[in-house]
Structure 1
Amino acid sequence: MHLLESALQFAMREHGADAVRALVSPVIERYAAAEKKPRRQRGDLVKLDGTSGFGAEQDAVYRIAGRNEPDPCILCEVPGCQEWPTLERVDDAGNPAGEFAYHASECRMDDGPSGAG
């Protein structure tokens, strides 16, 4: 923690408290929000927030597919947050729709219609 405090003191001397606050506040808010998100498992039904998942369609429901293991998230860097390599879109009945989203992070997921799982 001492290193962080030293870095903040240096930044405030160089740029002023308001400028540092403007830079740091969004990072803290993003981190805090991501930390509150539930951790996911294969088979969970989720919606993506529209900013995550290559090929993702906003408001579509996806099932976390069983392909490959998840990697640590690089978007929020919250310990435990994972990036799932493959999500499969499902229809209203929960059947595969033949479409996929890739590299979706848990911090950008919300529960699907019946909740996760």
Structure 2
Amino acid sequence: MYYKNKSNLPSYKFSDFKKACKNPKEVIIFSDAYYFADLYFSLRTKKQILSFIQSDGLENLSFLNTRRWGKNPNKNNPIMVDSYEFISGYRKGYLAFMYNKITGKWIIKSFHTSKHMEHQ
């Protein structure tokens, strides 16, 4: 599930995250991610978001970075967040997710248009 992280490599295998999206009980989606997935991609439910990821809706997926989750309430359980850009139709999107070893859950932290879009 994990890579031995170097700053230019993801912390997780995307294939493991994608596989987890088959089972909604394995994935938590933050409320902001729900809101922006609906606003920008018309993905209104958890089922729609996970199905979109599972069915390769994230075209031209490109790893951006991995960082420590700054708002982690449990500092004794460091969690890394992997960020990706993707294309969907004419939009460039941004997805950030992480895995909590204690809960055994994947977490979608962000799902919105790419902040890098203005610079492309």
Higher strand share: 2
Higher helix share: 1
Which structure has the greater CA radius of gyration?
A: 1
* TM-score, normalization by structure 1: 0.34
* TM-score, normalization by structure 2: 0.33
